[in-house]
Structure 1
């Protein structure tokens, strides 16, 4: 007998058989229940180099995350425009041509794009940084790191089974 991996068993279509409805400016747009693999292609395009930006941000030392991001964006002045185009192309892939044109006709704001993208990332369970191992632990700036707590505590008795210094309980003879 052959072993079968049933990839259909846990598909999101079971939970959302008709897709994911998104309401925007009085219109409803239906996104697929599962994120098609090719939907990420615009965001992973070599000319966008979003993965390179995320890697540079993960390697940045010191400063604030916002400050590091701004500095990295100044090194890539065409990135914001390319990124927005990639997001729009991703929505075109997800919605299909006609629904996407209808989506554009309601004139989504930048805030709409941000809210929708964040919500879809949560529903689809995809985060680019984590997908490429960029969301892990951060590197330390020194040669060695110190432990987060001492290796000994004063709350543990020196010998196993030692009687604690506490008043006798009501159930003990004393």
Structure 2
């Protein structure tokens, strides 16, 4: 059977079939090759109320949000920092599984460890909220490739894709 849409074709398991190994404080942890969608559920919990926070930030009086206004939004929700930290731990528990998460917690990751690891996992997973929510009419096209802006302006721009550039050897020296 042929599929019009094959969601298995480009799964991250192809790149990391056994999971994504992460080294932290001398211990290795194996994260799944792709983020299961329900891992993000803690971010959308009523206790965390991230959508309410975003609503308050977007609906400021002057239309722009200053740092002091953002701090005020957080102070109106004194449980927000703890709830957010709990949501992050819940996400890691969902990703690793209960036993591996207990091992992960046993190495006592710091807040900067969580931040660095989260950023690195986002990069590996290819999660980019800006791309997820971009408009449908963004710059993708089925039209022909664009031509160079000014092919005569530089000799280092190859005429064809993949052709070699003319450049002197960087380490050439006169003997």
Q: What TM-score, normalized by structure 1, do the two folds share? A: 0.67
Post-superposition offset of 1:63? 5.1
Post-superposition offset of 1:52? 2.2
Post-superposition offset of 1:51? 2.3
Maintained 8 Å contact 2:57/2:70: yes
Report the counterpart of residue 14 of structure 2 in structure 1. Answer: 14
Structure 2's unaligned 5+ residue stretches are: 135-175
Post-superposition offset of 1:7? 0.7
Q: Deviations over 1:77-98 (max 9, x none)?
A: 1000000001001000000111
Report the counterpart of residue 37 of structure 1 in structure 2. Answer: 37
Report the counterpart of residue 95 of structure 1 in structure 2. Answer: 96
1:125 aligns with 2:126: yes
Distance 1:105-1:36 versus aligned 2 partners, 3 A rule:
same
Post-superposition offset of 1:57? 2.6
1:112 aligns with 2:141: no
SS of equivalent residue, structure 1 residue 81? helix
Maintained 8 Å contact 2:58/2:65: no
Aligned length: 132
SS of equivalent residue, structure 1 residue 57? helix
Distance 1:55-1:109 versus aligned 2 partners, 3 A rule:
same
- Max radius of gyration: which structure? 1
Maintained 8 Å contact 1:54/1:129: no
RMSD: 2.2
Report the counterpart of residue 80 of structure 2 in structure 1. Answer: 79
